[in-house]
Amino acid sequence: MARPKIALIGGGQIGGVLAQLCALRELGDVVLFDIVEGMPQGKTLDIAEAAPVDGFDVSVTGTNDYKDIAGANVVIVTAGLPRKPGMSRDDLIGVNSKIMTSVAEGIRDNAPDAFVIIISNPLDAMVTLCQKVTGFPSERVMGQAGVLDSARFQAFIAWELGVSVKDVNAMTLGGHGDTMVPLVRYASVNGIPVLELLEQKYGSAEKASEVMTAMVERTKAAGGEVVKLLGNGSAFYSPASSAVAMAESILRDQKRVLPTCALLNGEFGIDGFYVGVPCVLGSAGIEKIIEFKLDATEQALMDNSVAAVKELVGSMNL
């Protein structure tokens, strides 16, 4: 049986880590595309030469020609300019929308049956644009943001409580930006509410709420925190790991419930926009959007986040 094929569009920091992770997990043969001659070929040669050490047995190659992504089962897109200190994700929309249009045409013309996972920022707008240009069914075009945002939220909770990250369950909804919605009410450690554990630690509900609010705000600004520390470029290890988790769930039909930027058709009161919500990812792509009841505060935060997405998408004049 032929191995699956994974095409990675964009050979920068995230693209290189993606190629390595896909190879290490033996998800399939990897093709890394970039317009810079020699760069994707050099990165993939370096990764391929580690195969005897790491023990993976898949093909890892680089290319400057979209024709080489033909037959890809999954395409992960990182192409676009990264953020610089002081920039918001939204500041990238002008230049990255031109890049995304070109990328989407390359995918449409060469890998018409692929599932597409977008990482490029501003995320919600770029996923919308890619789906419009490719014309692919919405269940095959999705964005990676919620997996990463949720992982950051989970990490901050684990560090604060001194527990394993493996036992923390927490999720963010909404757009991938400053208006994202970390769900405080549902955050738990093996089912025990995080707020309850914080109250035990600090001895007061007021202090617990204060600490949780700080973690929520840090989650919203987490990408910018990395950008500021790096000074040149943006996060690449964690976004790559997050996208690979999505690709693996699709390729191996794992049916994982992952927060995914998906096209909503009435769910959560939202119609016709790509927004982060929990989805079942399997061999058919986005197989189900899981809807659940938000309280009044959560719904207001969600509506505010969606309004920001609508404004961003509207600026592209699609």
Each residue's pLDDT tens digit, 24-77 = 999 999 999 999 999 999 999 999 999 999 999 999 999 999 999 999 999 999
Predicted confidence band of residue 93 (pLDDT cuts 50, 70, 90): confident
Whole-prediction pTM? 0.96
- Mean pLDDT for 152-161 is 98
CA-to-CA dists, residue 201 to 142, 190, 204, 234, angstroms: 39, 17, 8, 34
Q: What is the pLDDT of residues 170-228, one digit of tens each?
A: 999 999 989 999 999 999 999 999 999 999 999 999 999 999 999 999 999 999 999 99
Alpha carbons within 13 angstroms on the beta-carbon side of residue 30 total 34
Residue pLDDT, tens place only, 261-285: 999 999 999 999 999 999 999 999 9
Contact yes or no for 295/301 (Cβ under 8 A): no
* All residues at 6 or more sequence positions from 297 whose CB lies less than 8 Å from its CB, including other chains: none
Q: For 282-309, what is each residue's pLDDT tens digit? A: 999 999 999 999 999 999 999 999 999 9
Determine how many CB atoms are found less than 10 A away from the CB of residue 64: 15
Cα dihedral angle (105, 106, 111, 117), rounded to 10 degrees? -80
**CATH (residue range 145-318):** 3.90.110.10
Answer yes or no: same fold for 5-144 and 145-318.
Answer: no
Closest CA to 96 of 138, 125, 134: 125
* Count of CB atoms situated within 10 Å of the CB of 159: 12
Give the least confident one: 70-74, 82-86, 126-130, 240-244. Answer: 82-86
**Calpha distance 10→216 (Å, rounded):** 31
Question: How many CB atoms sit inside 10 A of residue 199's CB?
Answer: 18
Residues 69 and 31 sit within 8 Å (Cβ to Cβ)? yes
Catalytic residues: 176
Q: Parse the chain into domains and list their residue ranges.
A: 5-144, 145-318
Summarised one tens digit per residue, pLDDT across range 161-173 is 999 999 999 999 9
Are residues 46 and 21 in contact, defined by beta-carbon separation less than 8 angstroms?
no
SS3 at position 111: coil
pLDDT band at 259 (very low <50, low <70, confident <90, very high): very high
Residue 317 has pLDDT above 90, yes or no: no
Phi/psi of residue 131, nearest 5 degrees: -65, -40
Q: Looking at the domain 5-144, which fold is it?
A: Rossmann fold (3.40.50)
Angle between helices 123-134 and 296-314 (to 10 degrees): 60
272 contact partners, CB below 8 Å, separation of at least 6: 263, 264, 265
